[in-house]
Structure 1
């Protein structure tokens, strides 16, 4: 047993001393810091960021279609000025006498950075308003065009209502928005808290489920790849021949798996601390308050289930990676050998990522019982739909049974493959060799 813990300790120390591991961890910490503060960073460089209106010019004409267009522009200006935080600011320019001179003046205003674009008006359309064009240097100005279209719709409705003779009070009632609040309730005996959840709290759950699934995926895949890579490198350098003389192959395999598990959990804890510290900064606290999000209402059981499914998913994939790594003699062949497992894990992760809007679909329900996808998909269900406790327990039980079976098979493959050199052995050769050893 002492040799087993010696392997565990050696695995941990070798990784903590490795420059590649430390640099990768540091890069991930930097990425998480940047990602957590991304809105604040963008606001530092975005001069037209949130809260700053886009300046748009128009000609204050007094004759023809341009005069009617100028009247519409003034109504648009009044509409935007009535908003608490307008996203567009209309600036009028005097009529220069001809359309060509007017357009030249507006283009010069764009060059001088006074406006971002300008409006031009044409003949009347079927809705009674003149045709409106937004001209700017941007290839895509969809947000501005959408805002202008919405504002023009309001202006046109106001114009029609004014001609109909209804009172201002009736007009106010007509424009009073009708709101439907979406509340997530708990009708059965799910695994989460019984409190009803507002849309904001549901948004927190979706975001948290996505982050947890991503961290599970990274932790499981990175540590699994490291196990396979380390075993293959030991074989290729012939170190394995020396190791098996002092430590039994199975102790090596499970010692590496446990050691990498501790490393992976340490990384996840570190990343969680980094995210927590960054979210607690004043700039992020203000953003969370503006969005009416409260992280204190997150169910602690969610984190407990995240740890359980991380461990289950890790041991499942780690045993398979160790088995495959033991059959490969050259590190150049490792990527191709582990490709099937990597693809299965990617598909499972994608099912979780792209099913956030449909967490109760048949695909998600079935995938939550499949051992390869359960760590990601069941976490999504726990965060969003509160599945019955028995479903979660069944999913965990299936994973435990599958891990025991996979561990037994992987141990036989590892015991056989660590000393098989040359070309990668075929399935028939591995099966024949496995029969000679008992685990």
Structure 2
């Protein structure tokens, strides 16, 4: 048993010290910090400059109301009345004196029409704001033509009252669903990337030891099955270390950045139910062990690192399929297709968690999903251990699943 712990901690410490792990973690941390402070970074580069837009008001009536509306809705846009010709206004934009030129006129019904000129239309934020402000002015003019009062106009533009009421007992409200959808979306991405990244790491680790012939030395002092689970747990500890670090930094900047102050509530992190956190942790761990065991099994069949990706491609495709179904299920979590596929072991970690987060399921459903995962892991571990035991002794080119049979035959001979 001592050899098991030696391999486990050696795997953990050796991978923790590798340059690739340190660089990857550092780059990810920098990206998290940069993304959570993106608005501050943009403001730093932009400085205090405001967007200058020239307006040619051919009606001689609309500049003032548009300027007033723009001051209320777009403080970073500065409108300037331009009295020269349209052609000269275009040249002023080309010479970068203005960011854009807005030409306003009346149509036959004496309602405003406009044309916006800029060097390119890729950045639509300014033009969209101007269009919205002009739309508000048009509404006011239309109301005046129809002899509508301000109260009548406000009543006309008032959004319809549309409430959604779920008749199912203890069903979640629309607000709770929106919060749950954001939270589940983030955690699904976490499960998806973690399973792919760390399961692939296990397969690569096993293949690397085989290609360097280190495996022959290791299995002489510890059984292949113990070696397999030591690798799985070692990489599992490594994944928890990295995830805890990344999530801690991300949570800190999300909660302490004033620009992201409302994002926690938008994503559902403001009042996360304890049960959701528990389910997320349980399904993440079970999903990791399921795919990690499969990855170790497949990694033991190859002797060259170059063959690893080809061997684990079907496993990766199963993870991708489960993730895509889960993305579909975010908008329709109670469909029969999502319900049935949530009990397929390789889809359960993501789909059952998504259903738990979005719906009020009876307790037996997530528990049944956990039982299915535990049984699947146990069966896969027993079978994988036998394949692993023979697979680590196989050398030469291997990129076919027929080699599983050869590995089992080698195990029986011992």
**TM superposition score normalised by structure 2:** 0.87
Contact 2:210 / 2:392 at 8 angstroms: preserved in 1?
A: yes
Per the alignment, residue 63 of structure 1 pairs with none
Once residues 416 and 314 of structure 1 are traced to their aligned partners in structure 2, the CA distance between those partners, rounded to angstroms, is: 24
- Closer, same or farther in 2 for the Cα pair 1:248/1:129, shift >3 Å? same
- Closer, same or farther in 2 for the Cα pair 1:322/1:202, shift >3 Å? same
Query: Does 2:21 match 1:21?
Result: yes
Once residues 189 and 334 of structure 2 are traced to their aligned partners in structure 1, the CA distance between those partners, rounded to angstroms, is: 20
Deviation, 1:135, is 0.7
Pick one of 116, 135, 140 that aligns with 1:134.
Answer: 116
Once the two structures are superposed, residues 356-388 of structure 1 have per-residue CA deviations (whole angstroms, 9 ceiling, x without a partner) of 333334443333222222222222222223333
Per the alignment, residue 339 of structure 1 pairs with 313
- Closer, same or farther in 2 for the Cα pair 1:227/1:203, shift >3 Å? same
- Closer, same or farther in 2 for the Cα pair 1:44/1:124, shift >3 Å? same
- Closer, same or farther in 2 for the Cα pair 1:180/1:57, shift >3 Å? farther
Once residues 162 and 292 of structure 2 are traced to their aligned partners in structure 1, the CA distance between those partners, rounded to angstroms, is: 47
Pick one of 187, 192, 195 that aligns with 1:220.
Answer: 195
Once residues 48 and 339 of structure 2 are traced to their aligned partners in structure 1, the CA distance between those partners, rounded to angstroms, is: 44
Query: Does 2:375 match 1:401?
Result: yes
- Closer, same or farther in 2 for the Cα pair 1:302/1:154, shift >3 Å? same
Describe how 1:308-387 pairs up with structure 2 within 5 A.
Answer: 308-353=282-327, 355-387=329-361
SS at match of 2:116: strand
Contact 1:369 / 1:395 at 8 angstroms: preserved in 2?
A: yes
SS at match of 1:327: coil
Deviation, 1:230, is 1.3
- Closer, same or farther in 2 for the Cα pair 1:414/1:119, shift >3 Å? same
- Closer, same or farther in 2 for the Cα pair 1:16/1:383, shift >3 Å? same
- Closer, same or farther in 2 for the Cα pair 1:287/1:41, shift >3 Å? farther
Query: Does 2:405 match 1:431?
Result: yes
Deviation, 1:140, is 2.7
SS at match of 2:234: helix
Once the two structures are superposed, residues 337-357 of structure 1 have per-residue CA deviations (whole angstroms, 9 ceiling, x without a partner) of 111111221222233345433
Query: Does 2:245 match 1:270?
Result: yes
Pick one of 68, 77, 81 that aligns with 2:67.
Answer: 77
Contact 1:204 / 1:293 at 8 angstroms: preserved in 2?
A: yes
Once the two structures are superposed, residues 131-177 of structure 1 have per-residue CA deviations (whole angstroms, 9 ceiling, x without a partner) of 42111112335344444444333333322321333334333433344
Segments of structure 2 that go 5 or more residues without pairing to the other structure are none
Per the alignment, residue 33 of structure 1 pairs with 33
Contact 2:301 / 2:403 at 8 angstroms: preserved in 1?
A: no
The more displaced of 206-215 and 229-238 is 206-215
Contact 1:188 / 1:388 at 8 angstroms: preserved in 2?
A: no
SS at match of 2:331: coil
Contact 1:329 / 1:423 at 8 angstroms: preserved in 2?
A: yes
Deviation, 1:316, is 0.8
Per the alignment, residue 11 of structure 1 pairs with 11
SS at match of 2:395: coil
SS at match of 2:184: helix
Pick one of 52, 55, 58 that aligns with 1:58.
Answer: 55
Deviation, 1:179, is 4.8
Once residues 149 and 317 of structure 1 are traced to their aligned partners in structure 2, the CA distance between those partners, rounded to angstroms, is: 52
Describe how 1:402-421 pairs up with structure 2 within 5 A.
Answer: 402-421=376-395
Deviation, 1:105, is 4.4
Contact 2:53 / 2:99 at 8 angstroms: preserved in 1?
A: yes
- Closer, same or farther in 2 for the Cα pair 1:85/1:368, shift >3 Å? same
Once the two structures are superposed, residues 271-321 of structure 1 have per-residue CA deviations (whole angstroms, 9 ceiling, x without a partner) of 2211122123243564549x7787341112222111111111111111111
SS at match of 1:329: coil
Contact 1:120 / 1:133 at 8 angstroms: preserved in 2?
A: yes
Per the alignment, residue 269 of structure 2 pairs with 295
Once residues 16 and 389 of structure 2 are traced to their aligned partners in structure 1, the CA distance between those partners, rounded to angstroms, is: 27
Per the alignment, residue 90 of structure 1 pairs with 79
Per the alignment, residue 237 of structure 1 pairs with 212
Deviation, 1:235, is 1.0
Per the alignment, residue 392 of structure 1 pairs with 366
Once residues 203 and 43 of structure 1 are traced to their aligned partners in structure 2, the CA distance between those partners, rounded to angstroms, is: 30
Once the two structures are superposed, residues 47-84 of structure 1 have per-residue CA deviations (whole angstroms, 9 ceiling, x without a partner) of 599xx6x4432235xxxxx3x3x323444334434x35
Contact 1:80 / 1:87 at 8 angstroms: preserved in 2?
A: no
- Closer, same or farther in 2 for the Cα pair 1:280/1:428, shift >3 Å? closer
Once residues 94 and 242 of structure 2 are traced to their aligned partners in structure 1, the CA distance between those partners, rounded to angstroms, is: 50
